[in-house]
Structure 1
Amino acid sequence: MKIVGVAACTVGIAHTYIAQEKLENAGKKAGYEIQVETQGTIGVENELSPEQINEADVVILAVDVKISGRERFEGKRIIQVPTEIAVKSPNKLIEKAAEVVAQA
């Protein structure tokens, strides 16, 4: 399974990057390919390519604010949660993503 995501918190500092790290670690631990873009105070980092988005089975948006480029995910299965969920329960979030893909 291939997962892409975006992490963005209200301040754009700590939670954005913690959510990214926790999601990537949980995804890899579960054996999935995962890339997470961050949208923080210094702008967009690890920007997802159109190919990565196109190939993704599911999109995880761990966001507390409006993100730029959300339209890139039109037509994809999207799970949107606050960054706090990605930080506190990344493994459960990855399991939920797998369930969403399995139901499709």
Structure 2
Amino acid sequence: MFIAGVSACTVGIAHTYMAQQKLEDAAKAAGDDIKIETQGTIGIENALTAEDIERADIIILAVDIKIAGDERFEGKKVVKVSTETAIKSPNKLIAKLHEIAGK
């Protein structure tokens, strides 16, 4: 399964990157491919391309704030959680994404 998503926290530093790392580690452990865009104090990093979004089986938004470009995900299965959920329960979250995506 290919998961694409965005992580962003209120301050745009620690939790943004912690959520990204935890999601990437959990997805890889489950055998998935994943790409997480971060939106933080230094702007957008690891930006999702139109191809990434098209290819994605599901979109994960681990966000605590309004993100830029959320309209890109219209028509896709989108799951929105807090960065805290992504950090504290990444394996359960990836399992839930599989359930929702039917993969």
TM over 0.5: yes
2:37 corresponds in structure 1 to 37
One-letter code of the match for 2:95?
E
Moved over 3 A (4+): none
Partner residue, 1:96: 96
In the other structure, the counterpart of 2:18 is 18
Q: Secondary structure at the match of 1:31?
A: coil
Q: How far does residue 81 in structure 1 lie from its aligned partner after superposition?
A: 0.3
CA distance in 1 between counterparts of 2:72 and 2:60 reads: 13
Distance in 2 (CA, whole Å) between partners of 1:17 and 1:8 is: 8
Match of 1:61 in 2: 61
SS state at 2:53 partner? helix
The alignment of Structure 1 onto Structure 2 pairs a total of residues equal to 103
Distance 2:78 2:91 in 1: 17
Which segments of 5 or more consecutive residues in structure 1 lack a partner in the other structure?
A: none
Which letter maps to 2:99?
E
Structure 1 residue 5 displacement after superposition: 0.7
Shift of 1:95: 0.4
Secondary structure of the residue that 2:60 maps to in structure 1?
strand
Q: Say yes or no: does 1:83 pair with 2:83.
A: yes
Distance in 1 of aligned mates of 2:101 and 2:77: 8
Q: Could you tell me which amino acid in structure 2 is paired with residue 102 of structure 1?
A: G
Give TM-score scaled by structure 1 length: 0.97
Q: Which runs of 5+ in 2 are unaligned?
A: none
1:48 is paired with a residue whose SS is coil
